[in-house]
Amino acid sequence: MKTIMIPEPGKVMMTETEMPEVKQGEALLKILYGGICGSDLGTYRGTFAYAGYPRIPGHEFSAQIVKIGENDRGLKEGMIVTCNPYFNCQKCYSCERGLVNCCESNETLGAQRDGAFSEYITMPVERIYDGKGLSPKSLALIEPFCISYHGVSRADIQKGDKVLVIGAGTIGVLAAVAAKAKGGEVYIADIAEEKLQYAYHTFGLAGMIKNDSEENFANRVREITGDHHGFDVCIEAVGLPSTFQNCIDAAAFGGRVVLIGVGKKNLDFNFTMIQKKELDILGSRNALKADFTELIDLVKGGAIDLEKIVMNPGSEDPTKKSEYELDEAEAAFEEFSQYGGSKLKVLIHFADPE
């Protein structure tokens, strides 16, 4: 079968691998769509903190069940599904307390272990979720939405809270969507003008900040928050020292800061500002089964058109193209890396359901 491989930073190749062997308690899945996550792009660029090489990328996907045994989850051959890609050890202190998303020995598909970007994969039955009739494309977008939704849930957003999301990539935009759904007055900041405008207009956000200088950022925060003197909630969805600092600076006294972004660089900052403002600093890692099932129902109910996260789906312009065929995988990574400022979610089409 065909498999996408990143043998080393800066290189993507298509290779042939053996069909996986289905073990007890597993199902054989045919991959339909796969989304290139920021972490996959970071693995390609050599900037992702958890990357190892060689690596098969991919943890955002939809699939069709090809083979499955008797189970108590109502899963049957032919069903279109998505999966939880975070493998926990079930033994550490976090797992013992049910915090399986932040397992001390977590292995996420495409990061600490080989991922889903092959024509066929196997998955434990308990990690497979019924797509409930959602399209394969929408189901491939559920996992990144879960990442954002989990972080936003950590922020405990109340109706009317002023919320700033820093980062207009997929995770940032979906965090803005989730924060708005929870009643927040949501603003989004980024340096990429096209993605910023798209997020603002497409998802009906309260406003945006072009984060092209410290001065402009500070001025816009003051303009927006006025007497509030900062945002109630700041969500970091980039993974850079500068954008985490932006969150500390933009948060109101008594505010909450949630870190979703993943980076490899250190930040030297005046940590006493956390004490001075009495900030709640919250990390957010991965997601839980409840996030997947809740969001499948939410999207199924029509509250959110998740496929709008894919900009320019029909474009063949390499600077804007957002959907690729499996044989175009190398171009998908190269062009996403080069033209990321005008692309939000990039999908690879593996196959159609039978």
Where exactly are the structural domains of the chain? 2-141+310-349, 148-283
The CB density around residue 352, as the number of other CB atoms within 10 Å, is: 10
pTM: 0.94
pLDDT value of position 47: 87
Q: Which CATH superfamily is domain 2-141+310-349 in?
A: Medium-chain alcohol dehydrogenases, catalytic domain (3.90.180.10)
pLDDT of 191 over the 90 cut: yes
pLDDT value of position 349: 98
pLDDT in tens, 164-175: 999 999 999 999
pLDDT value of position 317: 96
Distance of CA 268 to the CA centre of its chain: 27
Torsion of the alpha carbons at 332, 37, 289 and 88, rounded to the nearest 10? 110
pLDDT of 60 over the 80 cut: yes
In angstroms, the Cα distances linking 178 to 10, 162, 188, 281 are 33, 14, 12, 19
pLDDT of 49 over the 90 cut: no
Using alpha carbons, select from 259, 261, 213 the residue that is nearest to residue 233.
259
148-283 folds as Rossmann fold (3.40.50)
Q: What percent of the chain has pLDDT over 70?
A: 100
pLDDT in tens, 242-282: 999 999 999 999 999 999 998 888 999 999 999 999 999 99
